[in-house]
Amino acid sequence: MSITKKYWKGIDELKETPAFLKSKDQEFANPNSIEEFLADEKLGESSTERRDFLKFLGFSVAAATLAACEAPVIKAVPYVFKPENVTPGMPTWYASTYYDGISYSSILVKTREGRPIFIKGNKEHGFTKGGVNPQIIASILGLYDSGRLTGPKENGKDSEWGTIDGKIKGSLASAKSITLLTNTVISPSMTRAIEEYKVKFPGKFEHVQYDAISYSAIRKANLQNFGSSFIPSYDFSKAKVIISLDADFLGTWLMSNEYAIQYGQRRNPDGEWMSKHFQFESVMSLTGSNADYRAMTKPSELATVLSYLISKKGVNTGVASNLPAPIKAVADAAAAALASCGNQAVVVCGSNNLGLQLLTNKLNQLIGAYGSTIDKTNTLNLYQGDDEKINQLVSTVIAGKGPDVLIMSGVNPVYSLPNGQEFGAGLKKIKTTVSLSAYMDETASKATYVCPPHHYLEDWADYSAKQSEYAVAQPTIRPLHKTSSALETLLVWIGVTGRGGKDSKAAYDYITETYTGLGLSDFNFTVHNSCVEKPFVVATANEIVFKDAAINGLPKAANLEVILYQKSGIRSGEYANNPWLQELPDPITKVTWDNYITMNPKEMEDAGYATTYDQENGLNLATLTVNGKSVTLPVYPMPGQALKTVGVALGYGRGANGEKIGKSAFQTKEYGGHVTDENGNPKPIGANVFSMTKFENSTYNYTSAGSISAAEGKYIIAATQIHHTVMARHSIVRETTLGIYTHNDKEAYNPAHVLQKLDEHGNHVKVPVSEFDLWEEHPVEVVGHRWAMTIDLSSCIGCGSCLIACQSENNVPVVGKDEVRRGREMHWLRIDRYFSSDEEATIGTRKSEDIDYDNAEHPSLNPKVIHMPMMCHHCNHAPCETVCPVAATTHSNEGLNQMTYNRCIGTRYCANNCPYKVRRFNWFNYPSYKKFTEVNPAQDDLGRMVLNPDVTVRTRGVMEKCTFCVQRIQSVKLAAKVESRKVGDTDFATACSEACPTNAIIVGDWNNEASVVRKSSKDKRAYQALEEVSIKPNMWYKVKVRNEENKELATLQNTKSHH
C-alpha cells in the first residue's frame, strides 16, 4: 500500500513551505530573539545601572518577604436581607430567552452572588431545544462592557430621563409624522405598545421593521406562491436529502442554532438513517464544509442548478439549465437522491433574490417538502423586515423629506445600509431623532436623543419567535447603569406608564397584562420554564395552494462575482466589540480579528497573490470595487471558493468614525493602545462592506459584480490554522463513507494500530499497540471514577460554540491579534480544520508512478473538510507529566491530568512533550498588562465580574490547559455525596459538551459501565488519536462518516480490509 489520503490544515502545510517546515517542529513559534531584544533602541535609553538593578532586586526580595509574612485584611460583607434563593458560593440558574434581532434561543443563565456569569441553552424548554451559537454564549460579556452607555444623552451630552422624556413627549405631540424604525419585533408586548402608538397618533404613525441581514425575498416569494408573507419552519431532522444553495443554515442562515440540532440528529451513521447533504455555494461556509457533496457554484449559477433539478422532476421553468461538468456531477447525484427519498427532502436557498426563492419554492413544491420537512403553519416571526418599505423610508430621509420624529430601536442603519453615510447625513435634517441604542454607535451618535435600553439580562421581555410559542426573558441582575427598558421607554412617551427607575415594574406589569390578554395563565410558571405553548390560528386552506409566479431578476453572470457573506462569529457586526467573538477563529479560514477577501488559491497563484503567510509575512492587499464602492483588504486563500468569485465578510469596520462602541472593536498596537488614523480616531477592525450591498429587484442583494486589482503592500494576518501542528502524524483524523461503513468490518475504516512481536512459539504475531507498555498500568481503569470524553467527528459541525463556552467557563484570557499572530492564543480548546484532497504517498514509500501529479485535480481547489475539536486528552500515560521538573502536572486517580498552577515554574517542557499540542503557556499578565487593556475584559472592574469564581485566574509564567472542567466534576461528586447517591450519568457535563448543538461531545464516568461515554468509546467507530504513541488518553474520537460515494476512499479502504 503506497497511497494514502492527505490531510492538511493550511496551504502552507500542503505546499510544505520553508517557513512551515521550520516551524512545524516548534511548539513555540519564534520567540523574540536576544539580538532583536538588544537591538531595541529604547533599551539603551533606560538609565538603570547594574548597581541600581541589584538594589531593586534586593529591595523587592525584602518587600516580597515582608509582604508574604502578613496576612492581608479581607473584608466580608454579608447581605442585610439575604434573598431567599441566593446562597453565597452556590450558583443560581434562571431560565430566560435570548433575542437580538438575529438569533433567538431559550437559554439558562448561571448567576453567582447575583452576577450572571455563564449562558447555556435550555434543553428542556423551548423549540430551540438548547441550541445556541457563539454569539449567544458570548453575549454575557456585553452586560459588563464598559463601553455601554450608562444613561440617556441629549446631543451627545449626559442628561436625565425626566428631562429627555419631557422633550420627546413634546416633539411627539407636535409632530406631523412619526416613524418607528426597529429590528423585527417579535415581542407581543412591544407589538401591543406599537398598536397604542397607532391609536394615539392616528394617521401620523408608521412602524418600519428593518433587519441588517434581510430575508425579505423568502417572504415575498411565499406571498407570490402562497398568498401569505411568511417564513416557514424547516425541519432538517426529517430531511433525508438536504439541498442547500448558498444557505449557511448551520452557521448564519435564519434559525441556524435550531437547525444545527435537527441536522445533528441525522448525521449519526448508526441511526435509523443518515441524511445526505448537497451544498452549492461560492464561499466555503460552515455548512458547506459539512456537506457530503459540495459544488463550487457562482451566485449566477444557482438558478441554473435549481432549474436543472426542477427539470429532472419533469418541469420546465424557462430558466437555462445547462451546467458545467463539476457542478452537473453533483447536481446529478442530488437529483438521483431526490428521486429516491420521496418527500423527505428540503431545498434551502440563502440568496435574498426573489427569483431564486421562487425557484426554490417550486422545487420544494415538486418534492412535496411542504407539510413534510417544511411547516407553513407554525411560521417564524423573525426577519419581518420589508426591504421595499425600508428603501422608501431611507430615500425620503436622504431627500430631507423624512418624518418629524424618527425613533430607532435595535437598528444601526448608518452602518448597515448600503447608503448608510447618506442616511446618516439625512438624519440631521429630521427635527427629532431618537435612538434606543446601548452604545454611542454609528446611528446613535447622529441622533438628537439617545435612550439606552437595559442589557437583555437586566430586563423583562416577552417573545413569540414562532406562532406556537410564547417566551419570557427575565432579569438576572439589577440594572448596572441608569438605563431603562425599551418597552418602558416607549410606554412612557405615550403616557401609559411613568418612569420607574432601577426597580421599575412598568415593563413587567405591561408584559403580564399582555400575557393574560393572550388567554394564557400561570405567568410565574412560564417564567420558571421561560416559555409556554401558545395556541395559534392555522392558515386557511386557500393559502396552502401553490400558485406559480413569474421568475425574473435572477443574478447575472459577471467576470467577477462578489459575495458578501457572514462569518459565524461576527455575523452582522452587532458584537464587533466582543473580544471573545473577535478572537474566535473563523470555522474555515481560522482567521481571528479581521475580515479579508476570500479567493480560491488556484486563482491567487495565477494572479500572483501570496497564498502562504506566517507571523512575519502577511498577505497581499487588493482593492475590491463593487457598485462604485471600494475597500482594500488582504486576499486570503480559501480552498473551495468558486472560481471567478470572491467573498468578503460583513460585520467588520464598525466605528469607522471613532464612534464609541467599546474598546475591543478597534485595532490595537503592539504594546497596547489603539491604532489611530489621521484624525486621532481609533482604527476599526477590517472594512465595512455593507456599502456594497445593493437594493435591486425589491430586495437588498448580497451578491453583485465587481472588480479586483492588486494594491500596494502586505497585511499581517492572525490565523490559528497551522498553529500547534501535529508534526507529520497521520492517525489524527479518520473518515469513511456510509457505504464502506455499513458493508465492511472495522478493519476497513478504523484499523487498530498493531505491532509485530514474537509469541511464545517464536512466531511473528500482530498485537495491538496497547499491549506494549513502558509503564505500569494506572489504576484508573476500574477503581473509582474515570472521566472520559468521546467526540463524534460525524456530528461535529465546527461551529465554535464549545470554544466560547470553554472560554466563558474557564476564564480563558483574550490575547489580541498580535499575540494570536505569534501563535500564543490561549484557547484551551481549538477546533482543527483539516482539508483533505488527493492522495499522497504513504510515509516510507516512494511516490507511485501511477499517479499523474500534473493532471491531478488541484488539491486546494475544492477539498473536503473535517472539523476536529482538540483539547487535553488526559492521557493515563501522559508524556507531559514525566517531564515536569517540579511535579506541577500530575495524574489523578480519576484519570485527569491535573495542572497545578502554583507549582508551575514555566519550563514549558510539558508543552514540548505533548503530542496533541494542547498546552498553553501564559506569556503575560493578561489581567493587568497594558498590552491587553483593550482586548481583555478582565482588565476593568466591570469586565472582571464575568469571571467564574470557581476557576483560578492564571498568572504569567504558568502552563494551563483543558481541565475537563474539573470544577464541575468536583461539584457533581459533592452533590452526590451530600445527597447520598451515585453520580448519575447525565450529572456531569463540561462546558463544551453542554454547548454542542449536535451532541458530538459526550462526557461521563467511564468506570460506570452503563454510561453513554463507555458505550460510545467501545463503538466500532471509536479510535484514539495518535494511538500508536500508546499514551492511553481518556478521550476517543469517532470516525467521520460521509454519506457520499467516494471511489478513491473506497479503493483505499477496501484494499486495507482485505490484507
Partner 1 sequence: MRFKQPKNKMNLPSIYMKITNYQLIKYFSIVFICLAILGVGTSSSVFAQTGEELFNQRCTQCHQIHVDGTGPKLYEAQKRWTDAGEGELIIEWVQNNSALRASGKSKRANKIFTDWKGSVMNTFTDLSKDQVKSILTYVDSQKPGGDAKGKDGAAAVADGEEAKDKEEGSGWLWYILGTIFITVILSVSGVRRQLKIVTSESPQQERLTYFEEFREWCWKYRKYVGIVSLVLVLSVLVTLFKTLGNINVMEGYQPSQPIAFPHSVHAGINGIDCKYCHSSVTKSKSAGIPSVNVCMNCHKHISGAGKPYEAEVKKIYAAAGWDPGAKAYTNKTSPIVWNKVHVLPDHVYFNHSQHVVAGGLDCKQCHGDMTKMKEAVKVQSTAELNEVEGNLKLSKPTLTMGWCIECHGKYQINLGDGKNKYYEEIHARLKKEKGQKTYKRHLNDNKGVSVAELGGWECAKCHY
Binding region for partner 1 (CB under 8 A) = 68-82, 87-90, 779, 781-784, 887, 890, 892-894, 896, 898-903, 950-953, 963, 966-967, 970, 973-974, 976-978, 980-983, 1007
CB of 800 vs partner 1, minimal distance in Å: 24
H or E element at residue 231: strand 231-234
Backbone angles phi, psi at 110, to 5 degrees: -95, 125
Q: Which is nearer to partner 1, 25 or 777 (CB)?
A: 777
Name the nearest CA neighbour of 278 among 267, 290, 262. Answer: 290
Closer CB to partner 1, 891 or 931, in the complex = 891
Separation between Cα atoms, residue 529 and residue 729, nearest integer Å = 48
End-to-end CA distance of the chain: 10
Inter-residue contact 751 to 1053 (CB < 8 Å): no
Instruction: CB nearer to partner 1: give 472 or 959.
Output: 959
Q: How far apart are CA 906 and CA 922, in angstroms?
A: 9
Nearer to partner 1, 982 or 1020 (CB): 982
CB atoms within 10 A of CB 617: 13
Tell me how far apart the alpha carbons of residues 763 and 753 are, in angstroms, rounded to a whole number.
19
The three-state secondary structure class of 198 is helix
C-alpha cell at 320: 437555462
Q: CA–CA separation, 352 vs 917, rounded Å?
A: 43
Residues with Cβ within 8 Å of residue 388, at least 6 apart in sequence: 216, 698
Residue 180 vs 884, nearer CB to partner 1: 884
Nearer to partner 1, 275 or 1007 (CB): 1007
158 - beta bridge partners? Answer: 153
CB of 202 to partner 1, least distance (A): 45
Q: Which is nearer to partner 1, 77 or 545 (CB)?
A: 77
Q: Is 946 helix (H, G, I), strand (E, B) or coil?
A: helix
Minimum distance, C-beta of residue 961 to partner 1, in the bound complex (Å): 11
Cell of residue 841, nine digits: 504517498
Shorter beta-carbon distance to partner 1: residue 441 or 960: 960
Left (φ > 0), alpha (ψ -120 to 50) or beta: where does 223 sit?
Answer: alpha
Instruction: Give min distance, CB of 68 to partner 1, in A.
Output: 7
State in angstroms the smallest separation of the CB of 892 from partner 1.
4
Smallest separation, CB 416 to partner 1 (Å): 43
Question: Which of 672/949 has CB closer to partner 1?
Answer: 949
CB of 422 to partner 1, least distance (A): 54
Query: Shortest distance, CB of residue 977 to partner 1, whole angstroms?
Result: 4
In the block, cell 448519575 appears at 984
Q: Least distance (Å) from partner 1 to the CB of residue 306?
A: 54
Question: From the CB of 391, what's the least distance to partner 1, in Å?
Answer: 54
Q: What span, in angstroms and rounded, lies between the C-alpha atoms of 644 and 638?
A: 13
* Cell numbers describing residue 572: 452582522
Single-letter amino acid, residue 102? I
Length of the chain: 1059
Cβ 1053 to partner 1 shortest distance, Å: 36
Residue 205: C-alpha distances to residues 181, 376, 407, 413 (Å) = 11, 31, 11, 20
- Compute the C-alpha angle 812/815/817, nearest 5°: 140
CB closer to partner 1, 697 vs 907? 907
Give the largest CA-CA distance in the chain: 103
Query: Judged by CB, which is closer to partner 1: 627, or 892?
Result: 892
Closest residue by Cα to residue 180 from 194, 168, 163: 194
Cell triple for 892? 489523578
Between residues 557 and 975, which has the closer beta carbon with respect to partner 1? 975
Return the half-sphere exposure (C-beta side, CA atoms, 13 A cut-off) of residue 919: 29
Beta carbon nearer to partner 1, 357 or 993: 993
Name the minimum Å distance from CB 984 to partner 1.
11
Beta-bridged to residue 849, according to DSSP, are none
CA angle 596, 600, 604 (to 5 degrees): 85
CB of 785 to partner 1, least distance (A): 8
Q: Which helix (H) or strand (E) holds 326?
A: helix 325-340
Give min distance, CB of 479 to partner 1, in A.
19
For residue 420, which amino acid is it? Answer: G
**Which region holds residue 927: left if phi is over 0, alpha if psi is between -120 and 50, else beta?**
alpha
Comparison of 47 and 980: residue with beta carbon closer to partner 1: 980
